[in-house]
Amino acid sequence: MKIGYARTSTTEQLAGLEAQVRDLWAAGCEKVFQEQVSGASTDRPQLAAALEHMRQGDVLMVMKPDRLARSTADLLGYVKAIQAKGCHLIVQSMGGQTLDTSNPTSKLMLTVLGAVAEFERDLMKERQAEGIAKAKAEGKYKGRKPTARNQTEAVRALEAQGISRTEIAKRLGISRTGVYRALGIVKD
């Protein structure tokens, strides 16, 4: 059975997620798991569900290696876990080529591509840090706008209705800590 996994980092990347899902179905996947969560997050329930769903002989298919993992070590860890189940990974869109971990050459290429992607991400983070430092030095950096504080009235209204703080966080798309901050229970 071909099982697809699609991921984007944010909800703003809906078109990217839809394109991955479409391409996975077109590649013959019989089931597709999808989620919108950071690749750096350790809490990816749909990936866990996809891996749990796999049985010996199945294939996990992703469109690009960075949809599965952000680091070479994590990528190889997933490959190892998939192979331990008697399955393999296929990375579909690699410049017209398909990488299939059931053969050694593709495993080597996947390792190299994973390392290049990790290197590229590290360079991006370095440039971002330099830009932030420059903006701070020029007095232009304001940081990320607080999301929970912008919803203080909504948080208080929901709490007044007797809704749990966990449910408030889910409904408003903020963290539980953000709910506590909005209620004035946790200080910065």
Q: Which amino acid is at 97?
A: Q
Question: What would the DSSP string read from start to end of 94-152?
Answer: ETTEEEETTSHHHHHHHHHHHHHHHHHHHHHHHHHHHHHHHHHHTT----PPPTTGGGH
- In the prediction, which pLDDT does 6 show? 93
Same domain as 166, residue 85: no
Q: Is 127 inside any structural domain?
A: no
* Residue 9 is a catalytic residue: yes
Same domain as 169, residue 85: no
Same domain as 55, residue 14: yes
pTM of the complete model: 0.64
SS3 4: strand
Q: Are 24 and 4 in contact (CB under 8 A)?
A: yes
Q: Are 28 and 59 in contact (CB under 8 A)?
A: no
How sure is the predictor about 95, in pLDDT bands with cuts at 50, 70 and 90?
low
> The dihedral of CA 124, 96, 91, 28: what is its sign?
positive
Q: Is 140 inside any structural domain?
A: no
Domain total for the chain? 2
SS3 3: strand
Nearest Cα neighbor of 50 from 61, 40, 41 is: 61
Same domain as 175, residue 117: no
Same domain as 115, residue 34: yes
Same domain as 40, residue 98: yes
Task: Say which of 9, 71, 106, 164 is annotated catalytic.
Answer: 9
Most confident of 8-17, 55-64, 93-102: 55-64
Same domain as 27, residue 113: yes
Q: Is 97 inside any structural domain?
A: yes
Same domain as 106, residue 14: yes
Do the strands 59-62 and 31-36 form a parallel or antiparallel pair, or are they unpaired? Answer: unpaired
Q: Which domain holds residue 155?
A: 149-182
Q: Are 75 and 68 in contact (CB under 8 A)?
A: yes
In 10 A of CB 160, how many CB atoms?
8
Same domain as 169, residue 113: no
Same domain as 102, residue 172: no
pLDDT tens readout for residues 43-85 = 889 999 999 999 999 999 999 888 888 788 888 889 999 999 9
